[in-house]
Amino acid sequence: MYAPFELDIPTDLPGALAALANGAGETVLPIAGGTNLIVDIRARRERPDRMVGLGEVDELKGMEFGPERIAIGGRTTVSDLLRAPEIAREAPALIDAARLFGGLMVRNTGTVAGNIASGSPAADLVPPLLTLDAELTLASANATRTMALDDYYLGYKEDARTPDELITRIAWPRLPANAVNSFYKLARRKGDAITVTGVAVTLAAADGRCTRARIALCSVAPVVFRARQAEALLEGRALTPALIDEAAAEAAAAARPIDDIRASADYRRHTALALTRRLVGQAWDRLA
Amino acid sequence: MPENRTITLRINGRDEEGRFPAHRTLLEALRQLGHMEVKCGCEKGDCGACAVLVDGMAVDSCLTLAWTADGREVTTVSGLGDLDSPHPLQQAFADGGAAQCGYCIPGIIVAAKAIIDENPEPSEDDIRLGLSGNLCRCTGYTKIFEAIADAAAVMRAEGGEP
């Protein structure tokens, strides 16, 4: 690779945060799996002076399964998700996304925090996490803050993370008792393909009514987003095919898709509607 | 200019030292050390031609910085076996005619090793998903999938060291 940079390999989190803070006049980037970043550097889309390798920062690894909340370290890889039976039980949408994420080698090294921080509108792990009400912990050498994942994206490839911050932790509440959580990736092939349209849904029900609806879409707008108007249509109601159609139309109306090499904007709008209808309908059938 | 650093890679069971700058990828380092069996394909993490095992885990060496592999075990396709004593995967690929031009095969065999290490009895779906990061532009993949299933069966029957 012909774009030279320097590389620090700190062995703990304070060391990593200090290395990120020391970038006076330099472009300093953290690197975990590198599955996006190395490609971007090679293409000269990123030109770091210095990289901070996170491979030996153990504080960023591990999963906690508390009575009410689940938390995973930022450096959890996609393969780590697939090997965790509790994630399969507690966040099935995340497993749906992880199974078809990149290829084996990318799943082994690509991280959850990296997928979030890439800011890509096609980040497959983000719709599932949005439908789980995930919260991020961002740490710098000076401060630690938490924010809803839903507040993290500011625009196309723009996010709330400052250059000296790391996403150290991703946490979400356990799903309620009667809930379905799923994700569907539409792409040209299964695996190693960038998503054309991705939809994640969480639906919970009690006494024949929908008590919680979360719908999030990727690859159909400049950012991954929650279809809040569609969610609002469903919450508190007994779902009918007509109501599900209406919510799916709202979700598609909230999309701002583009034409690109993978699909047309029209196709994305159409599939955003069809997939939302399908996932909400299937979830409701399973809950009934 | 950034400094060079001497790193030690335990490649196929033998320690090898090299001196590299920070931006050198593991792929470049391995080939510079003479390991031409590791192939350079897309350099984007799409094709898997450069796959190697680092401490037993399959990675794209084109996306791995060499310094981050310092002190680790690196296994290339040559580390699995040779002509005199081929690994069951290598034997199955030869017997089944699962290679045409052969360029993708070093990476595919490494990925297949990782698939079988994780699951000694992979279904066809497991094999397909496990190989989704390896592209072959010659074949229809069928013989590749069959060779991996055959090798897994041989390895289960042998029951010994994978």
pLDDT at B2 > cutoff 90: no
pLDDT at B94 > cutoff 70: yes
Do B22 and B52 have their domain in common? yes
Domain limits for position B123? 81-158
Q: Residues A65, A90: contact at Cβ < 8 Å?
A: yes
* CB–CB contact B129 A109 (8 Å): no
* CB–CB contact A105 B133 (8 Å): yes
The percent of residues in chain B predicted with pLDDT above 70, rounded, is 97
Cα–Cα distance list, A260 to A52, A263, B153 (Å): 33, 6, 44
B136 interface with A at CB cutoff 8 Å: no
Do B57 and B114 have their domain in common? no
Do B153 and B91 have their domain in common? yes
The percent of residues in chain B predicted with pLDDT above 90, rounded, is 94
Do B44 and B86 have their domain in common? no
Do B56 and B18 have their domain in common? yes
The percent of residues in chain A predicted with pLDDT above 90, rounded, is 95
CATH architecture of A6-53: 2-Layer Sandwich (3.30)
B67 SS3 class:
helix
Q: Which residues of chain B lie closer than 8 angstroms to A97, CB-CB? A: none
pLDDT single digits (tens) B125-142: 999 999 999 999 998 899
> Chain B closest CA to A85's CA: distance in Å?
15
Do B51 and B86 have their domain in common? no
Do B112 and B72 have their domain in common? no
ipTM: 0.95
The percent of residues in chain A predicted with pLDDT above 70, rounded, is 99
> Chain B closest CA to A84's CA: distance in Å?
14
A206 interface with B at CB cutoff 8 Å: no
Do B33 and B20 have their domain in common? yes
Domain spans in chain A, listed from the N-terminal domain onward: 6-53, 58-173, 179-287
* CB–CB contact A6 B25 (8 Å): no
* CB–CB contact A9 B68 (8 Å): yes
Average pLDDT, chain A: 96
pLDDT of B30 reads 98
Q: What CATH number does the domain containing B116 carry?
A: 1.10.150.120
Q: How confident is the model at residue B1 (pLDDT cuts 50, 70, 90)?
A: low
Looking at residues A265-279, what average pLDDT do you find?
98
> Chain A closest CA to B96's CA: distance in Å?
24
B57 interface with A at CB cutoff 8 Å: yes
pLDDT at B162 > cutoff 60: no
Do B66 and B99 have their domain in common? no
DSSP result, A56-118: T-GGG--EEE-SSEEEEETT-BHHHHHT-HHHHHH-HHHHHHHHTSS-HHHHHH-BHHHHHHT
Do B41 and B73 have their domain in common? yes
Q: Which residue among B79, B106, B125 closes a domain? A: B79
Whole-structure pTM value: 0.96
- Between chain A and chain B, the number of residue pairs with CB atoms below 8 A apart is 108
Q: Which residue among B56, B79, B102 closes a domain? A: B79
pLDDT single digits (tens) A132-186: 999 999 999 999 999 999 999 999 989 999 999 999 999 999 999 999 999 999 9
Q: How confident is the model at residue B101 (pLDDT cuts 50, 70, 90)?
A: very high
Q: Which residue among B79, B110, B136 closes a domain? A: B79
A42 interface with B at CB cutoff 8 Å: yes
Number of structural domains (chain B) is 2
A190 interface with B at CB cutoff 8 Å: yes
Q: What CATH number does the domain containing B56 carry?
A: 3.10.20.30
- Gap between the Cα atoms of B151 and B158, Å rounded: 10
Q: Which CATH superfamily is domain A179-287 in?
A: CO dehydrogenase flavoprotein, C-terminal domain (3.30.390.50)
- Gap between the Cα atoms of A154 and A159, Å rounded: 5
Please state the separation of Cα A39 from the chain's center in Å. 20
pLDDT single digits (tens) A81-120: 999 999 999 999 999 999 999 999 999 999 999 999 999 9
Q: What CATH number was assigned to the domain covering residues A58-173?
A: 3.30.465.10
Do B37 and B64 have their domain in common? yes
pLDDT at B40 > cutoff 80: yes
Do B98 and B135 have their domain in common? yes
Q: What tokens were used for B59? A: 């990675």
Average pLDDT, chain B: 95
- Gap between the Cα atoms of A27 and A117, Å rounded: 16
Interface test with A, best of B20, B23, B50, B62 (most A CBs within 10 A): B23
